[in-house]
Amino acid sequence: MIDLHCHILPGLDDGAANDAETLKMAKELVAEGVETVVATPHCNGVYGADVAAIEYEVERCQELFASHGLPLRILPGGEIAMGGDTLLLWRQGHLPALGGVQALLLELPSLFLAEGARHLIEECAAMGTLVVIAHPERNPALLRDPKLAETLRYAGAHFQLTAGSLDGQFGPAARDFAESLLRRRMVEYVASDLHPGRKASLKKAAKRIKKLCGEEMANALLRENPRALLTGTAADRAWRLAC
Domain locations along the chain = 2-236
CATH 3.90.1150.10 fits 2-236, yes or no: no
Whether 121 contacts 156, CB under 8 Å: yes
Answer with the residue of higher pLDDT: 112 or 238: 112
CA 67 to mean position of chain CA atoms: 27
- pTM surpassing 0.75? yes
What are the C-alpha distances in Å from 100 to residues 19, 40, 117?
23, 11, 23
Tens-digit pLDDT profile for residues 137-188: 999 999 999 999 999 999 999 999 999 999 999 999 999 999 999 999 999 9
Mean pLDDT over all residues of the chain? Answer: 93
| DSSP label at residue 4 | E
Residues in CB range of 194: below 8 A, 6 or more apart: 3, 6, 7, 8, 15, 25, 28, 29, 200
Report the alpha-carbon distance of residue 218 to residue 141 in Å, rounded: 27
Report the alpha-carbon distance of residue 27 to residue 40 in Å, rounded: 17
- Looking at 49-58, 111-120, 193-202, which range is the least confident one? 111-120
pLDDT band at 240 (very low <50, low <70, confident <90, very high): very low
